[in-house]
Amino acid sequence: MWFAIIAQDHPGSLDKRLAVRAEHLERLSKLQDEGRMLLAGPFPAIESESPGPAGFTGSLIVAEFASLADAEAWARVDPYVAAGVYAEVSVKPFRKVLP
């Protein structure tokens, strides 16, 4: 089943985010290589593709996992969690309708 992983950043965490971004993207790439990634990306803090020092307010990942518990376990060990980028992470079942 698809699961939405919705994370909110701690304010002022851009430097931490940038420091572990490669590790975070490596995990996402693995999901994509396995055909389990629907989409992933950050929420810019301002209306801009490249928000610069304004940074980001969080992230959204929609990926396939065998269970909610598996999705939650995957999200718990994300490098952004370990580095203190994410203040809060929620995981919810997601049903893709369109497109």
35: domain CATH number? Answer: 3.30.70.1060
Give Rg (Cα) of the chain: 13
Contact (Cβ atoms closer than 8 angstroms) between residue 64 and residue 2: yes
Output the pLDDT for position 10: 98
Expressed as residue numbers, the domain containing 23 is: 2-94
What is the pTM for the complete model shown? 0.96
Output the pLDDT for position 46: 98
Output the pLDDT for position 30: 98
27 within some domain: yes
Token duo for residue 87: 């203040």
pLDDT in tens, the chain (99 residues): 999 999 999 999 999 999 999 999 999 999 999 999 999 999 999 999 999 999 999 999 999 999 999 999 999 999 999 999 999 999 999 999 999
- Total tally of structural domains belonging to the chain: 1
Token duo for residue 10: 């701690």
